[in-house]
Amino acid sequence: MKPTLFVLAAGMGSRYGGLKQLDGLGPSGETIMDYSIYDAVRAGFGKVVFVIRESFAVDFREKILKKYADIIPIETVFQELDKLPAGFELNPERVKPWGTNHAVLMGKDVIKEPFMVINADDFYGRESFKIMADFLTSIENKENIYCMVGYRVGNTLSESGSVARGVCSTDKDGFLTSVVERTYVIRDTDGKIKYRDEEGNLVETAENTPVSMNMWGFTSEYFGYSEQLFADFLSENQDNPKAEFFIPWAIDRLIVNGQIKVKVLDSPSKWFGVTYAEDRASVVEKINQLVAKGDYPGKLF
């Protein structure tokens, strides 16, 4: 069975402005998602599932999904604030989405095969999709062995402001020992990379520190873990309307509890994305360079 690509596209792109998932950046108006779908198809993925907000479903289907109709099977699921486990009620002060692992949980009824999770607005590179497809094929009949593609933090920053990154530690065999979501990572005025810790202090980290760019590989039992962990998260954060249920938070708990192992896969791909509006011109230029090299056609679909 071919693996599935699960695209997290429910974010509204608050820092960039508007629906950045629908922004045409390629030479023929391609979105970053278009390049991910193209790379996934040629890497051997068999289906794509999008998680979106129901409020922009019509626009999304009209501008995005139509072009894939004859390319690969597509499904959509919705992430909404009121999709909570039994026994929990929505805090009226809650306005933010519940986070990336809540988005993943929305796929539990339509994904039964090994699957890969990516952000809609990140450009991951063709090699990463092939590496992930090969790994997911190898774990089809296994459980509790997951993976992530790691990128060097120095290659993932924005010149326009801070970014959020899952900062990773690994053991001697390349398995993840911890991943901590840092919501403020920046190259400081002294040229050094720093993140803000829990106390609000800026902590320096090395250029080649592996970080998660939200490119994960799972098998379907992960949904069961996520349901239990979401209930734990809600119990622990019922008085914090801004807390988010991130994938790294869930993964870290499962690793600490000895329930799973996560292989960190090295990739030569270069990551880039549009975090701020000021990043757009640079991304357009990088895509044009890849097209000029012959890595992608001038028109994808």
81-138 per-position pLDDT tens digit: 889 888 888 888 887 889 999 999 999 999 999 999 999 989 999 999 999 999 999 9
Residue 204: count other Cβ atoms within 10 Å of its Cβ: 10
Distance CA 273, CA 139 (A): 29
**Residue 118 near residue 35, CB atoms below 8 Å:** no
Average pLDDT over every residue of 265-283: 85
Contact indicator for 289, 15 with CB cutoff of 8 Å = no
Name the more confident of 99 and 276.
Answer: 99
List alpha helices for 44-175, DSSP H: 57-63, 100-105, 126-138
Report the CATH fold assignment for 4-293.
Answer: Spore Coat Polysaccharide Biosynthesis Protein SpsA; Chain A (3.90.550)
Q: What is the pLDDT of residues 37-58, one digit of tens each?
A: 999 999 999 999 999 988 888 8
Q: What six digits make up the tokens of 50? A: 């999008």
Q: Which of 42, 119, 118, 35 is nearest to 290 (CA)?
A: 35
Model pTM score: 0.88
Q: Match 């996560």 to its residue by tokens.
A: 262
Mean model confidence pLDDT for the chain:
90
Question: For residue 134, what are the CA distances in angstroms to 43, 124, 176, 252, 271?
Answer: 8, 16, 19, 24, 20
Residue extents of the structural domains in the chain: 4-293
CA distances, 158 to each of 36, 86, 178 (Å): 20, 40, 24
